[in-house]
């Protein structure tokens, strides 16, 4: 069969990376660096194999009075670099050794001299591609760079060790998310990014509108081609009057059918022109208004539209039909909060489960967090070691602890009592502790880091600080809500059992001063075939902060 041979199955390819000869990438003419250096023996067993490898030079230095050069090459497939040796007779070394240069090289894998940390190196005999870099202007030199500095070079920061490791960790957590829910029989549902929900949280929503661009277009057009004046309208009316008289005269004179038809046609054109002139005269520069307010009836959707803050309400419609579902996508908040914990665009994982109560919700959320922690330990250990070395030496121990420890579960009332005891014992918080407050990050972290020293699930919160859709408890003071608090970030997950009783949810909407009309579809889920159900939301970037120990949320999303 020659070139038509069947490629190895992915699972065989993975095995070959660990045990057999180093593999060519299935869709690229090179062997990924990971397939060479991330084997249990560091690649030593591959000595004698001929390979082609590509990547970007991390560091390069000429040796032996310029007779050869050492390059540390990385292609982003793993944190480790491949050591490449190029002789001066093969290529111009001065270009190759610059940090940031892209190379594609071919040669023989050899054992390096005893005592070096590398287990394998590539002796190059062909340089197939060089993407040169000007060291004078390249903004990512090999010196240690702060994460703040890298935020000013978003497009180049994936070339750094930290950001590429975060990208692989993020990728692993996304894969783990889908694996967890798929293994447990959940259906992945895509919820809309543009929503017309125009009440809850509207103050913190980004608006999606075409009114501004349409108004700008009209303003330009009216400058180039001004609207008709009163005189223009009068002239158009006179023309209609004249044409009308002509038709009347021709009919009275019993003119030929052809003459009358031609005259009627002229009158019709004059009327159409008058209609156009009158319509155009109504055009006003600026955004259209009606009764002193912006006229959203003229907007793209005929009403106000926003970027979504959550897919939960929409995904509930599927939970109330196909039972176990989840959505995983971008959400948006227009909060003027420029802290290290806030993003305007972030990703949320939101499962929803039918025939399930708050206890089931807590069980699912705990199992999901543990699954993700174990996944990183199994699949991303080299990247986690880099995080431990550079940012948070306790991050691996934290993953181990969370993946293997039962979470503490306490009612909100008990959590407040514990915090009040701490205050009496001399602990100072910026925000006062009393029953009824929404716990602040400092309170959450004190519970999980100082009191219990492990993840904590706080449940049964006061109804006044929670959303209308959370199920009212029998005490009529609290709702069946739960938050998972973890060391390092505080709240990681927020969830609840949803209110499935039609009369109760109607009353809750009214209590909160929200209009019923936009929620009629949501109420239908309770009117027709209601079912107890629950769900939660996990802020994906917060999970990455928790895992890596990085402090600023802008460093764990590709484009903050």
pLDDT at 14: 37
User: Which 8-state DSSP code applies to residue 492?
Assistant: E
Residues of the chain with pLDDT under 70: 1-22, 197-203
pLDDT at 546: 96
Q: Which of 373, 347, 394 is nearest to 553 (CA)?
A: 347
What the block records as the tokens of 540 is 């994906």
**Taking the model in full, what pTM does it have?**
0.88
Helix (H) or strand (E) holding 225: none
For residues 39, 47, 123, 27, the Cα torsion angle rounded to the nearest 10 degrees is -50
534: left (phi over 0), alpha (psi -120 to 50) or beta: beta
Identify the residue whose tokens are 């990050």.
441
Tell me the backbone φ, ψ of residue 323, rounded to 5 degrees.
Answer: 80, -70
pLDDT at 144: 86
| Distance from C-alpha of 412 to C-alpha of 475, rounded to nearest angstrom | 14
CA–CA distances in Å: residue 347 to residues 71, 165, 257, 362, 551? 38, 19, 72, 21, 18
Work out whether the CA dihedral 181, 186, 188, 192 comes out positive or negative. Answer: negative
pLDDT at 22: 60
pLDDT at 19: 42
């Amino acid at each position: 069969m020659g070139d038509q041979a069947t490629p190895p199955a992915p699972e065989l390819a993975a095995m070959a990376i660990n045990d057999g000869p180093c593999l060519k990438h299935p869709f690229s003419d090179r062997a990924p660096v990971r397939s060479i250096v991330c084997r249990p023996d560091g690649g030593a067993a591959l000595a004698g194999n001929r390979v082609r490898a590509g990547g970007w030079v991390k560091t390069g230095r000429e040796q032996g009075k310029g007779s050869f050069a050492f390059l540390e090459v990385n292609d982003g497939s793993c944190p480790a670099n491949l050591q490449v040796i190029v002789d001066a007779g093969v290529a111009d070394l001065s270009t190759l050794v610059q940090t940031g240069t892209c190379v594609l090289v071919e040669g023989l894998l050899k054992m390096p001299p005893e005592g070096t940390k590398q287990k394998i190196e590539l002796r190059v005999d062909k340089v197939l591609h060089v993407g040169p870099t000007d060291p004078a202007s390249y903004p990512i030199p090999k010196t240690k760079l702060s994460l703040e500095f890298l935020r000013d070079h978003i497009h180049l920061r994936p070339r750094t060790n930290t950001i590429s490791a975060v990208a692989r960790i993020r990728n692993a957590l996304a894969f783990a998310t889908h694996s967890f829910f798929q293994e447990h029989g959940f259906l992945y549902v895509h919820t809309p990014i543009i929503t017309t929900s125009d009440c809850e949280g509207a103050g913190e929503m980004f608006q999606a509108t075409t009114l501004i661009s349409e108004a700008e277009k009209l303003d330009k057009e009216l400058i180039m081609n001004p609207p008709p004046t009163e005189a223009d309208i009068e002239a158009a009316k006179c023309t209609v009057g004249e044409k009308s008289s002509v038709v009347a005269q021709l009919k009275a004179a019993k003119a030929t059918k052809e003459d009358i038809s031609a005259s009627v046609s002229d009158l019709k054109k004059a009327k159409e022109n008058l209609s156009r002139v009158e319509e155009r005269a109504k055009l006003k520069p600026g955004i259209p208004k009606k009764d002193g307010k912006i006229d959203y009836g003229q907007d793209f959707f005929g009403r106000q539209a926003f970027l979504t803050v959550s897919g939960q309400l929409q995904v509930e419609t599927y939970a109330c039909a196909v039972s176990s579902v989840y959505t995983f996508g971008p959400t948006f908040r227009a909060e003027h909060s420029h802290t290290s914990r806030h993003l305007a665009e972030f990703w949320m994982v939101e499962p929803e489960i039918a025939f399930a109560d708050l206890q089931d919700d807590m069980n699912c959320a705990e199992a999901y967090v543990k699954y993700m922690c174990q996944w990183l330990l199994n699949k991303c250990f080299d990247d986690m070691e880099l995080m431990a070395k550079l940012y948070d030496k306790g991050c691996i121990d934290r993953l181990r602890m969370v993946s293997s420890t039962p979470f503490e579960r306490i009612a909100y009332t008990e959590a407040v009592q514990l915090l009040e005891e701490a205050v009496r014992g001399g602990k100072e918080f910026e925000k006062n502790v009393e029953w009824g407050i929404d716990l602040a990050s400092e309170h959450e972290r004190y519970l999980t880091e100082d009191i219990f020293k492990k993840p904590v699930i706080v449940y049964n919160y006061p109804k006044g600080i929670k959303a209308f859709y959370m199920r009212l408890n029998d005490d009529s003071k609290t709702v069946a809500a739960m938050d998972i608090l973890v060391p390092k970030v505080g709240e990681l997950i927020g969830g609840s059992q949803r209110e499935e009783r039609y009369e109760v949810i109607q009353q809750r909407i009214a209590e909160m001063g929200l209009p019923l009309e936009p929620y009629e579809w949501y109420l239908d889920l309770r009117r027709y075939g209601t079912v107890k159900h629950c769900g939660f939301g996990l802020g994906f970037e917060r999970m990455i902060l928790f895992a890596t120990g990085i402090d600023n949320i802008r460093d764990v999303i590709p484009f903050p």
